[in-house]
Amino acid sequence: DHVANQIAAGEVVQRPASVVKELLENSVDAGATEIRLVIKEAGKSLIQVIDNGSGMNAFDAKACFQRHATSKIKIAEDLFALHTKGFRGEALASIAAIAHVELRTCMEHDEVGTQLTIEGGKFMSEEPVVAPVGTSIAVKNLFFNIPARRNFLKSDQVEFRHVIDEFQRVALAHPDISFSMYHNGSEAFQLPAANLRQRIVGILGGKSNEKLVPIHEETGIARIYGFIGKPEFAKKGRGEQFFFVNDRFIRNGYLHHAVIAAYEGLLRDGSQPSYFIYLDVAPGSIDINIHPTKTEVKFDDEQSLYAILRASAKHSLGQFSV
């Protein structure tokens, strides 16, 4: 059973970036306004997320590592009910089965918090601790008990890129939350709570502000907002391209095509624009197809959405380009 658990966990947790995603989303769910990610060796030796969210009491601190120990409401209309199915209430249990985990957590009116350690799914220690309100979860030596998985990891450079991708997706989905990230002791990102434009600029850096054109459209099927890159700043290869649906990062090849179509005649050969497009839709109007590493969404009325998105992007480009 122990081995079965490890294997199951290894399927769900593909790489350090998978852990980063789960921990960051938990911190967001806990109502944190400040979230810090600390990693070492691209997350292979350490992934730590520290938040100032609700924290947990001593009972929940232990329970959260049990399979299906979710405190989150399960309702059919929950947009990502499907996304989380099979993983809902399982992330921490899975991670703890294949790593060394240290949790420290404290709730607002509690005098002491809880500190506990788990190794390969076994509780090793639990003690009261004086801690700030919120939660810190440190995940060390990921895959220590699944050598095949550990050996399968890519170079630090590649794994770090995956971690950055997940970090950026969560940070872009929640500009109102302050995020920071440290790698091997140095600061990689410092993103104060901001509006969307500032958040994007904080991530892209440099003179990206002048490269962005706002996009905005409201129709019966979706509210669309965000920014798209001016064509003259399109890059060879893939640009920074993001879709968010109801504040979650998703992929959608069809809508991607709609955006690219709006740039018709404006792009040099092989160059791709950046875009940061947010769609708010009625949860009942989408279908989510889940794969451990991807989040793909199919919209009921995809063709209308395509037309609307393309027209809206085109309008923005026409209005703001010089």
| Site stretch for Mg ion (CB under 5 A), options 32-40, 87-95, 206-214, 285-293 | 87-95
Say whether residue 177 binds Mg ion (CB under 5 A). no
Among 17, 91, 106, 173, binds Mg ion (CB under 5 A): 91
Closest approach of ligand ADP to the CB of residue 289, in Å = 19
Q: Which own/partner pairs from 61-67 qualify as long-range (CB within 8 Å, at least 24 positions apart)?
A: 61/103, 61/105, 61/114, 61/116, 62/114, 62/116, 62/123, 62/126, 64/92, 64/103, 65/92, 65/93, 65/96, 65/101, 65/118, 65/121, 65/123, 66/93, 67/93
Q: Which residues pair with 80 in a beta bridge?
A: none
| Site stretch for Mg ion (CB under 5 A), options 73-81, 83-91, 154-162, 303-311 | 83-91
CA distances 140 to 39, 144, 145, 160, Å, are: 10, 9, 12, 16
Question: Interface residues for ligand ADP in 91-120 (CB under 6 A)?
Answer: 91-92
Say whether residue 180 binds ligand ADP (CB under 6 A). no
The answer to whether 161 and 167 have CB atoms below 8 angstroms apart is no
CA 79 to chain centre: 16
CA distance 23 to 141: 16
Say whether residue 239 binds ligand ADP (CB under 6 A). no
Question: Interface residues for ligand ADP in 25-54 (CB under 6 A)?
Answer: 26-27, 30, 51, 53-54
Number of residues interacting with ligand ADP: please give it, by CB under 6 A.
21
Question: Interface residues for ligand ADP in 268-287 (CB under 6 A)?
Answer: none
Say whether residue 279 binds Mg ion (CB under 5 A). no
CA distance 271 to 287: 31
| Site stretch for ligand ADP (CB under 6 A), options 66-74, 113-121, 197-205, 241-249 | 66-74
Nearer to ligand ADP, 30 or 222 (CB): 30
Q: Which residues bind Mg ion (CB under 5 A)?
A: 26, 91
